[in-house]
Structure 1
Amino acid sequence: QVLYRLKEKVQVSDRQLKAPPPDLHLTPTVPPDSAQRSKGTKVVINLWLQIVIKYQISAVFYFLSLRSRRGSNVSLVLDMSALGSVEPLNVAVVTPRESVAREYLSSAGRPLTRQQLRDIVNNTHKLHAEFTEIPMNFIDPKELDIPNHGTKNRYKTILPNPHSRVILKSKSCNDLLSSYINANYIRGYLGDEKAFIATQGPMVNTVNDFWQMAWQEESPVIVMITKLKEKNEKCVLYWPEKRGIYGKIEVLVNSIRECEHYTTRSLTLKCGNQTRVLQHYWYTSWPDHKTPDSTMPLLQLMADVETDRRMAAVMGPVIVHCSAGIGRTGCFIATTIGCRQLQLEGVVDVLSITCQLRADRGGMIQTGEQYEFVHHALSLYEARLSTETGQ
């Protein structure tokens, strides 16, 4: 196409040849006969081709050297009509790769019958192969047009996907940072909107934001699945021993119940003249950089959380966090949805559940081992169901 357009642009007449561009350093003498004129025309065309094609190739290599980032709102395209110029577009462009990823996350699935679930937990290779095909759906920092948002992120590469992120209510519409929190609404069973909120472990400078979110979203339960420190800091201690004030939210500890694998706190939140009761679960039995040996404690935690959620006076999202808010958080939410599906449908589609989670927050269920762990937890839950129903 480049050569074709060049030939169109270099239809040089005899008159034009009499005055060749000075930068080509051609002899201005015009050949006397037609054969010589034809030869002169070819010389000029060849010189033009050498100059412009060299420029075109340079532009192509520059273009190919640019790293294509997922979700960037600037796409670089080669404008062939401009013969080699590289121009940024000012409109958001969905790349083919992004389009394929979105299609996969919205349509992929593999429903497992109870027997198939029992069988696949023993096929580790197949589970890991399936997991590697799922797009991570992380976002580019440029997608978040919020100045200094990095100061509120525990990990600079783990960011909230814009379309589903939680936005804190702020007095000033212009203060974007005060409305920012690294948290996403997560759909539940059958796509139930805002069934959960997945978020990072609070930092020193985001504790007030965290409690503002809990109050604003009318959350009945908080699930914490991390220690405060595992080699490095994973989360700050964001609740009081007895009473604490965090911004406009006052938090009171009513009671504490110690279990083998987690601790439950009954909290009262106060804001102005309003009060609200919230349950806080702190699961501490998840080992650092691997999955638990047993899925039983997670299933017990899930059952307790579901009981509290149904009995609560408010019906907001259940807040779930670990450190980054994608790995263990993803395992807990996926297991909760999967158990519900098994109970009501008799089948479970972990692939589809994971895709739905990642569409809402990138990277949910972080590793192949965690993906395998979710299947094991659901298999144990299925065995319980089978015992109860006699199937």
Structure 2
Amino acid sequence: SHIHFGAAYLALDPVHNPGHINTGADFNRGSNFSLERPLKRGSNVSLLLDMSALGSVEPLSSGVVTPRERATQEYLQSASRVLSRQQLRDITLNTQMLHAEFAEIPMNFVDQKELDIPNHGSKNRYKTILPNPHSRVILKTKNSNDLLSSYINANYIRGYLRDERAFIATQGPMINTVNDFWQMVWQEDCPVIIMITKLKEKNEKCVLYWPEKRGIYGRVEVFVNNVKECDHYIIRSLILKQGGQSRKVQHYWYTSWPDHKTPESAGPLLQLVNDVEEDRRGFTSCGPVIVHCSAGIGRTGCFIATTIGCRQLELEGVVDVLGIVCQLRTDRGGMIQTEEQYEFVHHVLSLYESRLPVDHDS
């Protein structure tokens, strides 16, 4: 059930320059694409383009389920737009339609009152980006009453066909959460870590949480076995040891995603998705793949949505990007932060589709 990308799929095609994108005047006339779907206009949240604006989001309240919260959950569980291969090609060129569709998806951010964990704020990189309670990762502790030690800003994320715990989406580790991060890697038996941020982009985005050669983080010992530099990312082969056991973990550091933008080319992200799938097949552990950027929602969401979308395209010949993003936001609020990122995911999937064998029915 894994994605099988041939090398030919991965030509580094540039993303269409938005300045030259057809805004879709011919789109509706030329296809059977339906615009009919449940649009719950009361549930949409203003588009947020930078982290500083996130404080303006109206969070979901705890206790009584409000009409707004009910509408959010209904939308996230039901919204869908299944695209044939031709429809994917068409809508990728229709920026206006993609941006309008994105604006309707509820963010599903968490209210701090929903997390009854004293002092958890000290472990959050951004005070308004919190793990949704129902899917958050809970670290195992000796003292069940020590809620703060069990807390990490991370969520299990479902994969293709709602595969439980296919991924973990988390924030970039902070200086006081590095040990927690490695505890999670070990506890969840994770084969791969994907980092999609620089350590600093104007401000700190993530601390350097791995050693040059060997480091001890709490009870987990980490060895760097090998470092391979590729065009757009660096791959570190790690050995983790704890209590007489040892495991292999691959660490991918994708460095070429520009700050507050989307990449100019879709190819490198598709290559990364391919390489990670290859690694997953080669590892005996079947734990979740950990993905993080800085907040753990924007670039992280793009990677996970692309992985799921590629698998759906390969196995079904169709893709439901709207449904995928709704599933991601159910598991962790705010996944895929901006309309540009939503558009970029369509570009990457369109590139993947163009490398698939010709399907005369599409």
Normalising by the smaller structure, the TM-score range is 0.7 to 0.9
- Residue 311 (structure 1) shift: 1.2
Q: CA 1:214/1:124 → structure 2, altered by over 3 Å: closer, same or farther?
A: same
Which letter does structure 1 place at the counterpart of 2:92? V
- Residue 72 (structure 1) shift: 2.1
Q: How does 1:181-200 map to 2 (within 5 A)?
A: 181-200=152-171
Counterpart in 1 of 2:61? 72
Counterpart in 1 of 2:18? none
Post-superposition CA distance 1:62-113 (Å, at most 9, x none): xxxxx9954322xxxxxxxxxxxxxxxxxx2100111011000001000000
Counterpart in 2 of 1:14? none
Aligned alpha-carbon RMSD (Å) = 1.6
- Residue 195 (structure 1) shift: 0.1
SS where residue 159 of structure 1 aligns? coil
SS where residue 177 of structure 1 aligns? coil
Which letter does structure 2 place at the counterpart of 1:291? T
- Residue 310 (structure 1) shift: 1.4
Q: Of 119, 140, 143, which aligns to 2:90?
A: 119
Post-superposition CA distance 1:272-318 (Å, at most 9, x none): 11000000000000000000000100000000001101111100000
Greater relative contact order: 1 or 2 (C-alpha under 8 angstroms, separation 6 or more)? 2
Q: Is 2:83 aligned against 1:94?
A: no
In 2, distance between residues paired with 1:384 and 1:96? Answer: 44
Which letter does structure 1 place at the counterpart of 2:153? N
In 1, distance between residues paired with 2:327 and 2:172? Answer: 22
Counterpart in 1 of 2:297? 326
Which letter does structure 2 place at the counterpart of 1:239? W
Q: How does 1:271-310 map to 2 (within 5 A)?
A: 271-310=242-281
SS where residue 236 of structure 1 aligns? coil
Q: Is 2:177 aligned against 1:206?
A: yes
What is the TM-score normalised by the length of structure 2?
Answer: 0.83
Post-superposition CA distance 1:194-228 (Å, at most 9, x none): 00000000000000000000000000000000000
Counterpart in 1 of 2:325? 354
Counterpart in 2 of 1:374? 345
Runs of 4+ aligned structure 1 residues displaced above 6 Å come to 388-391
In 1, distance between residues paired with 2:252 and 2:57? Answer: 41
In 2, distance between residues paired with 1:387 and 1:279? Answer: 34
In 2, distance between residues paired with 1:387 and 1:259? Answer: 30
Larger Cα Rg: Structure 1 or Structure 2?
Answer: 1
Q: CA 1:157/1:252 → structure 2, altered by over 3 Å: closer, same or farther?
A: same
- Residue 389 (structure 1) shift: 10
Contact 1:338 1:348 in 2 (8 A): yes
Structure 2, unaligned runs of 5 or more: 1-55
Which letter does structure 2 place at the counterpart of 1:72? S
SS where residue 329 of structure 2 aligns? helix
Counterpart in 1 of 2:315? 344
Q: Is 2:142 aligned against 1:143?
A: no
Q: Of 248, 261, 285, which aligns to 2:232?
A: 261
In 1, distance between residues paired with 2:168 and 2:58? Answer: 26
Post-superposition CA distance 1:244-273 (Å, at most 9, x none): 000000000000110000000000000011
- Residue 386 (structure 1) shift: 3.2
Which letter does structure 1 place at the counterpart of 2:102? F
In 2, distance between residues paired with 1:111 and 1:388? Answer: 16
Post-superposition CA distance 1:160-182 (Å, at most 9, x none): 00000000000111110000000
Contact 1:110 1:352 in 2 (8 A): yes
- Residue 387 (structure 1) shift: 5.7
In 1, distance between residues paired with 2:176 and 2:272? Answer: 29
In 2, distance between residues paired with 1:212 and 1:170? Answer: 10
SS where residue 261 of structure 2 aligns? coil
Q: Of 77, 82, 91, which aligns to 1:106?
A: 77
Which letter does structure 2 place at the counterpart of 1:330? G
Q: CA 1:352/1:294 → structure 2, altered by over 3 Å: closer, same or farther?
A: same
Contact 1:70 1:98 in 2 (8 A): no
Structure 1, unaligned runs of 5 or more: 1-66, 74-91
Counterpart in 1 of 2:135? 164
In 2, distance between residues paired with 1:300 and 1:68? Answer: 35
SS where residue 149 of structure 2 aligns? helix
In 2, distance between residues paired with 1:122 and 1:250? Answer: 48
- Count of matched residue positions in the alignment of Structure 1 and Structure 2: 307
Contact 1:113 1:346 in 2 (8 A): yes
In 1, distance between residues paired with 2:353 and 2:340? Answer: 20
